[in-house]
């Protein structure tokens, strides 16, 4: 019963709907486990709460 | 000093108040550690950011 | 379907067995949800991988 | 630059090799982002450190 | 390519800007790795979603 | 009471000792909070459990 968490910036629901279906398929195909054993939790993070190279994404835009 | 995180959908504060007290008691009773060493962090997740079986909870409603 | 993670130092299995039962009960009692919707994942961390006050627990012993 | 974490029980490297490739493809296909922006971190958890329904997986076997 | 997550209460962007720069420097100085390999993700948590000693921070204020 | 988690590959204890001191200082300096309110948890991950670009680090070596 794998639990997946995704740290990412905000995205449209349509894109997230597609993503979680594909991630779940990845487990079904790679591990041969049923889809209903896979949970995906997306933790959307605002650009002022996330950095690369020590700079907030909000400042890099 | 255990750190507990909870991934869940949104709930009323009254319910969360009850939950964190009970989770903290679980550590005090099972591990015999003081309550002030236990932190609980609830990461509420909107139904469009969480899936089971590859389907967003928002779509399953 | 709440997912609980616990960051803690190593403990005996007997203690962890007791803990996960009590944490699960906390959700059943506070949220009135079935026990089988609750997962607990314990992430045991060695004392050289965890610090308080900027000092490794391994060094504080 | 999404960061994916996977909580799961131990699996063979061959299966994990397949999984991370497929999860990465899921992001490339759904979000149209480059593969090198996707990191996957698998946090394998022993059966005595993980529970469903308040019972350790180690005890359910 | 270390990934850092920070669980904390809400803070002003100016403070977070300073924090992520300093955390990134910590890795550059301690591990001698390039700054662009370090990501920091801040997961701000409201005072009704976080507890110490079994009491919500919102109630302790 | 910020909680920091670090996902990284295995490192020597000496390096981790230095890192956690520096990360803690980052919070003391940026947020003006006491060092003893800061916890750092390092989650070391083996190269067969971590990928970039869909390839396990173990395979990239």
Asked whether the beta carbons of residue B1 and residue F41 sit closer than 8 angstroms, the reply is no
Separation of alpha carbons D37 and F25, rounded Å: 30
Instruction: Name the residue among F17, F36, F44 with its Cβ closest to that of C52.
Output: F36
Task: List Cα–Cα distances, C5 to B9, B20, B40, D51, F53, in angstroms.
Answer: 15, 14, 10, 10, 27
Q: F1 touching E, CB under 8 A? A: yes
Task: Tell me: pLDDT of C61 over 80.
Answer: no
For E35-44, write each residue's pLDDT tens digit.
Answer: 999 999 999 9
For B33-56, write each residue's pLDDT tens digit.
Answer: 999 999 999 999 999 999 999 999
Parent domain of F40: 3-60
Number of domain units in chain A: 1
Residue of D nearest to A9 (CA): D2
The mean pLDDT of F21-41, rounded to a whole number, is 98
Burial letters A8-25, b for 16+ CB under 10 A, else e: beebeeeebbbbbbbbbb
Instruction: Give C60: exposed, middle or buried? Use CB within 10 Å, 0-12, 13-18, 19+.
Output: exposed
Q: D8 touching E, CB under 8 A? A: no
Tokens 């255990």 sit on residue: B2
Best probe of the A interface among C1, C2, C3, C5, by most A CBs < 10 A, is C3
Q: F45 touching B, CB under 8 A? A: no
User: Taking Cα atoms as reference points, which of F39, F37, F35 lies closest to residue F4?
Assistant: F39
Query: What are phi and psi for residue F59, nearest 5 degrees?
Result: -85, -20
Tokens standing for C46? Answer: 């060695």
Task: Tell me: pLDDT of F10 over 80.
Answer: yes
pTM, two decimals, is 0.97
> For residue D6, what are the β-bridge partners?
A4, D42
Predicted local distance difference test score (pLDDT) of residue F61: 66
For A15-51, write each residue's pLDDT tens digit.
Answer: 999 999 999 999 999 999 999 999 999 999 999 999 9
Query: What are phi and psi for residue B14, nearest 5 degrees?
Result: -60, -40
The mean pLDDT of F34-40, rounded to a whole number, is 98
- Kindly write down the DSSP assignment for every residue of B1-61, as one continuous string: --EEEEEE----HHHHHHHHHHHHHHHHHHH---GGG-EEEEEE--GGGEEETTEEHHHH-
Asked whether the beta carbons of residue A3 and residue C3 sit closer than 8 angstroms, the reply is yes
E32: CB partners within 8 A, 6+ apart: none
F47 neighbors F41 (Cβ within 8 angstroms): no
Q: F51 touching E, CB under 8 A? A: no
Half-sphere exposure of D23 (CA within 13 A, CB side): 34
Of B60 and F38, the one with more pLDDT: F38
Best probe of the D interface among E2, E3, E36, E42, by most D CBs < 10 A, is E3
Residue of F nearest to E26 (CA): F22
Asked whether the beta carbons of residue C13 and residue D52 sit closer than 8 angstroms, the reply is no
Task: Tell me: pLDDT of C13 over 70.
Answer: yes
Q: Which residues in chain B are closer than 8 Å to A35, comparing Cβ atoms?
A: 53-54
Which CATH number does the domain housing residue A21 bear?
3.30.429.10
B53 neighbors A36 (Cβ within 8 angstroms): yes
Give CA angle at C30 (D54, B32), nearest 5°.
60
Separation of alpha carbons C25 and E50, rounded Å: 19
Predicted local distance difference test score (pLDDT) of residue C6: 98
Tokens standing for B32? Answer: 């015999």
The mean pLDDT of E17-21, rounded to a whole number, is 98
Separation of alpha carbons E42 and E16, rounded Å: 8
Residue contacts between C and F (CB atoms, under 8 Å):
46
F49 neighbors D31 (Cβ within 8 angstroms): no
């Amino acid at each position: 019963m794998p639990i997946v968490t995704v740290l990412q910036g905000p995205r449209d629901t349509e894109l997230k709907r597609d993503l979680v279906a594909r991630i779940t398929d990845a487990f079904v195909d790679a591990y041969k486990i049923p889809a209903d054993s896979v949970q995906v939790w997306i933790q959307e993070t605002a650009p002022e709460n996330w950095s690369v190279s020590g700079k907030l994404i909000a400042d890099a835009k």
